[in-house]
C-alpha cells in the first residue's frame, strides 16, 4: 500500500482515522475495538501480536461481519482487493467462469462468500482451493474461512505498518 503510515504515524492518528484504517484491514468491529484499546504499538511486531490476540477473541458472527466487507473472489473490489486478487485478472475466461461457478456453489453450500487469502495465488489455485473446500462440513469451513480472514488481516496490517522505523519490524 503506497503511502502506508507506518507504526508511529498510525499510533498518532485520531481514533476515527485509526478505526477506518483497521476496518480496511480486518473488517470485524470487535477486532478493531481491541486493536484501538491496545494502541500505541510502538513497533510493527507489537501491532502484529496484538492483531492476533484480538483476532483470537472473535467468533463466527465476527467472521461473518468481516466477510460481508470483502468482494467475492474474481469480482471487482477496491484497489487493495484487486492487487490481492491480481492472479484472477490474467486468468483465461474459462477459469474465471469456473471460479464464478465455484463461488455460487460455495455460497449455496455454506451461506457466505468464499474467502481465501488470495495474495500471490493464481486463479487456478483459487479455483482448486474453492473446489477442495466445498468438501468441508459447514462448521469446519467457517473456521477455515475465519483463519483466511486472519491471514488477510495480517497481510493488510503489515502493509499499513510498512514504514516502521525498523524496530521490531
User: Is 146 among the domain residues?
Assistant: yes
Residues 128-161: pLDDT tens digits?
Answer: 999 999 999 999 999 999 999 999 999 999 999 9
CA–CA separation, 115 and 66 (whole Å): 10
Report how far residue 20's alpha carbon sits from residue 17's, in angstroms, rounded to the nearest whole number: 5
The parent domain of residue 124 ranges over: 6-160
pLDDT, tens only, 33-57: 999 999 999 999 999 999 999 999 9
User: Is 76 inside any structural domain?
Assistant: yes
Judge whether 126 and 88 are in contact, CB under 8 Å: yes
Instruction: Report the SS3 class of residue 150.
Output: helix
Q: Is 166 inside a domain boundary? A: no
Q: What Cα–Cα distance (Å) separates residue 90 from each residue in 87, 116, 122?
A: 6, 18, 9
Say which CATH number the domain at 10 has.
1.10.3330.10
Q: What is the pLDDT of residues 99-129, one digit of tens each?
A: 999 999 999 999 999 999 988 899 899 999 9
How does the average pLDDT of the chain come out, rounded? 87
Tell me the C-alpha distance between 108 and 91, whole Å.
Answer: 24
Which band of pLDDT confidence, cut at 50, 70 and 90, is reported for residue 76?
Answer: low
In a domain, 132, yes or no: yes
Asked if residue 169 belongs to a domain, the reply is no
Total domains in the chain come to 1
Tell me if 167 is assigned to some domain. no
Amino acid at each position: 500500500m503506497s503511502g502506508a503510515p507506518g507504526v508511529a504515524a498510525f499510533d498518532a492518528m485520531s481514533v476515527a482515522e485509526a478505526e477506518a484504517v483497521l476496518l480496511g484491514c480486518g473488517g470485524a468491529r470487535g477486532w478493531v475495538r481491541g486493536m484501538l484499546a491496545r494502541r500505541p504499538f510502538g513497533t510493527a511486531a507489537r501491532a502484529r501480536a496484538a492483531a492476533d490476540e484480538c483476532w483470537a477473541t472473535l467468533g463466527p458472527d465476527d467472521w461473518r461481519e468481516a466477510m460481508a466487507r470483502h468482494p467475492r473472489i474474481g469480482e471487482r473490489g477496491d484497489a487493495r482487493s484487486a492487487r490481492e486478487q491480481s492472479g484472477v485478472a490474467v486468468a483465461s475466461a474459462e477459469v474465471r467462469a469456473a471460479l464464478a461457478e465455484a463461488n455460487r456453489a460455495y455460497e449455496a453450500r455454506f451461506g457466505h462468500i468464499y474467502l481465501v487469502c488470495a495474495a500471490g495465488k493464481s486463479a487456478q489455485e483459487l479455483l482448486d482451493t474453492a473446489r477442495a473446500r466445498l468438501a468441508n462440513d459447514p462448521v469446519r469451513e467457517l473456521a477455515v474461512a475465519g483463519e483466511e480472514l486472519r491471514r488477510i488481516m495480517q497481510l493488510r496490517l503489515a502493509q499499513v505498518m510498512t514504514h516502521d522505523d525498523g524496530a521490531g519490524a
